Amino acid sequence: MYAVIKTGGKQYKVAAGEKIKVEQIAADVGQEIVIDQVLAVGNGADLKVGTPLVSGASVKATVVAHGRHDKVRIFKMRRRKHYQKHGGHRQHFTELEISAVNG
């Protein structure tokens, strides 16, 4: 059984036992969270799509770790104008382990 969930403005296809990295969630390591924004639930060839959410469906997950992604380099330049600007960004993430999909 799998589900399509929405968290942090993005959508993820998840199944029980998987680990995913999502946008940072305010939860402690080891804490179990319930994600209620389930857009679709599938089991083999059977698929239940919500409008926009599937009623009664939820996904249980455990917070494994918090961290930061690799640095994204930012470089701006205007040719012939003696202008260069360097920057960088590291996005925070929360790693979740999916324990159950209830549909």
Q: Does position 103 have pLDDT exceeding 90, yes or no?
A: no
pTM of the predicted protein model = 0.86
- Looking at the 3D structure of the chain, how many domains does it have? 1
Residue 94's beta-bridge partner residues? 22, 66
> How far is 71 from 68, CA to CA, in rounded Å?
9
DSSP string, 14-74: EETT-EEEEE--S--TT-EEEE--EEEEEETTEEEE-SSS-TT-EEEEEEEEEEE-PPEEE
CB-CB contact of 3 with 42 (8 Å): yes
77-84: Cβ within 8 A, 24+ apart: none
- How many CB atoms lie under 10 A from the CB of residue 24? 14
Say what percent of the chain tops pLDDT 70.
100
Pull the structure tokens for residue 93.
């993430």
Report, as an integer, the average pLDDT of 21-31: 97
> How much of the chain exceeds pLDDT 90, in percent?
98
What domain range is 76 assigned to?
2-102
| The pair of three-digit structure tokens given for residue 3, joined into one six-digit string | 């589900």
Query: pLDDT tens digits, residue range 40-87?
Result: 999 989 999 999 999 999 999 999 999 999 999 999 999 999 999 999
